[in-house]
Homo-oligomer: A and B are copies of this chain.
Amino acid sequence: MDQIRRVLIVGGTHGNEWTGVYLVKKLQRSPHLATRQSFTTHTLIANPQAHELGRRYVDSDLNRCFCQVDLENLALVTYEHQRAREIVQIYGTNGQTPVDFTIDVHSTTANMGQTVILRDTNSFSLQLAAYLSHSNPAIKILASAPSSKGKLYLDSISAFGCTVEVGAVAQGVLNAALFQQTEDLVNAILDFAEAYNCQPHNLPSPGTAVDLYQSWQTVDYPKNDQGELLAMVHPQLQFADYQPLHPGDPMFLTFAGDTLAYTGDCVVYPIFINEAAYYEKAIALRLTQTHTMVITP
């Protein structure tokens, strides 16, 4: 792609993640804040019904509704499956107002600070990652695991996309400091898109190394045969997202007070530790590995 013509900023893909919803509302009131010279910026509250209800979703997780097979399967008629089709019909590659780059803004109850999740690791995404890391070393870059179902996520509706995750913040709450961090991060991504269009020579060049966390595998909570929780995330691991976890380190604490250790054989970097929305997905945390990639020409 030569130029980014349209950028879409999305909030409220999960209705109880208020940071994105209120950031989008702010940008809708003050569109100049997201305006750059070389592209137009659109904004979207993706799941307004779920937000109205104060829930993550109405019927099913909207951010798992964007694989092509599901979009084409008209037998899937939940609110979110229909909403996904509407969004693709408006902003998708063959939609009414196709966008080139989607920024989907989320929040998490895990202590993930300012995280950018890359959908893939093509040179555009790695340039973005290098640009953001340089602008603020606190920003974490996460490469998501390829899904067996293909492109599930909302940020896959356009040629380029990324997801922003900021936390720790409870669902249904605005934390002002994290709101500002989210706004800063979205601004930095918009600045990158502007530089990509107007000053590509100023962007990180091919050959530049990019440090990132590569999503690897998930770990469920210990459960009994009835599927009931037997343990909680260990206090030493709670809020320790992105910190190294060594074999033998505490991972869970049973209700009886016993510590269960991490039994893997390599150092990992857990993320989404104790994310509220992931209990139902049987995910206590996600393990990542550090990885250095190089921007290709």
Contact = CB atoms under 8 A, between A and B. Distances in A.
Interface of A: 22, 25-26, 30, 54-55, 109, 168-177, 179-180, 228-229, 232-235, 238, 253, 255-257, 274, 276-277, 279-280
Given A22-B229, A26-B255, A255-B22, A173 B234 contact: no
Contacts of A228: 25
Contacts of A54: 280
A170 B233 CA distance: 14
Given A174-B233, A179-B255, 6 more contacts: A22-B229, A173-B274, A173-B276, A174-B229, A175-B232, A176-B238
Kindly report how many copies of this chain are found in the complex they form together: 2
A170 B109 contact: yes
A15 to B, nearest CB: 13
Nearest to A228: B25
- Select the residue from A109, A232, A235 with max chain B CB neighbours within 10 A: A232
Contacts of A238: 175-177
A45 to B, nearest CB: 13
A111 B126 CA distance: 39
Contacts of A234: 176
Contacts of A109: 170, 173
Contacts of A26: 255
B253 A176 contact: yes
